[in-house]
Structures are given as structure tokens and as C-alpha cells.
Amino acid sequence: MSEKIETGSVLKGKVTGIQPYGAFVALDENTQGLVHISEITHGYVKDINEHLKVGDEVNVKVLSIDEKAGKIGLSIRATEEAPAQPAAAAKAKKPRAKRQAAPIMTSTEPQEGFNTLKDKLQEWIDQSQMKI
């Protein structure tokens, strides 16, 4: 790998190959790196071919360098300014209304509805003995 390439540097490169998971970019004659699909542009990328083609010259930022594996992680997205959110999207993010806690039942009157097994067990035992 070339000595001049450092993490964080922004370089110009040329797209040499496209795969479903990313694009390979040549930084010089001997060095190339991978721009993962998530680093192509801001927002969701379904198909890289809609954004890049072989031969395109692109600015890339070096995200990582793995000397042992000989891999360089690159980002095109990091060289571009993030788009401003449209006003409609900003309005859509309204704070949620706070939910009130359910009231705590303190009544000693028998409750209708769900009964636990423990509450019904003695009643069932009595009913089964009456049928014998």
C-alpha cells in the first residue's frame, strides 16, 4: 500500500468495479479501496448502478486502512454535505403525547373479568366434588 494514504484524508479516485455490496475505487496505480453501499450517498441506496458507473471519478474519504488484510475502507458520502431536511419531514416529527398510567383499583368489591387460577381453584374443587 502507498505510504501517503492516511485515515481521514480525502482523495480523488476512479471507479474500477461495482458489486451489489459496494464499489471499488482506484486511488493510484497500485492501490484501490472499497466504498461500501452505505457510504455511497446520504439516504438509502437500493442499486449502486443508479449512482455510479465504472470509470467515474469520485472524491473519497479514507475511513479505515487494514495493512495486514490489504483493505482500505472509503466513503463518498463523507465528502458531501448532508442534505437539509424538508420542512414537511421536520413537521412530521412531533413529540408524542404522554400516556397516563392506568388507574390503580383499590376497591374491595369483587371484580368482574379475569380471575386468577388461585381465586377459582377452590370453587372448581367444590364443583367437582358435588358431581361425584
In this predicted model, what pLDDT tens digit does every residue of 55-97 receive, in sequence order?
999 999 999 988 888 889 999 999 888 887 765 555 566 677 7
Does the pLDDT at position 5 exceed 90? no
Whether the Cβ atoms of residue 73 and residue 33 lie closer than 8 Å to each other: yes
Contacts of 112 (CB under 8 A, 6+ apart): none
Residue 48 included in any domain: yes
pLDDT given at position 108: 62
Over the stretch 7-42, which tens digit does the pLDDT of each residue have? 898 999 999 999 999 999 998 888 899 999 999 998
* Domains held by the chain: number: 1
Half-sphere exposure of 28 (CA within 13 A, CB side): 8
DSSP H helical segments within the chain, as ranges?
A: 87-92, 117-130
Instruction: Confirm whether 122 is domain-assigned.
Output: no
Is position 1 within any domain?
Answer: no
CATH of the domain at 73: 2.40.50.140
pLDDT band at 53 (very low <50, low <70, confident <90, very high): very high
Q: What pLDDT, on a 0 to 100 scale, did the predictor assign at position 128?
A: 85
Q: Would you say residue 64 lies in a domain?
A: yes
Host domain of residue 51: 10-79
Sign of CA dihedral 66, 67, 73, 74: positive
**Would 14 be classed as within a structural domain?**
yes
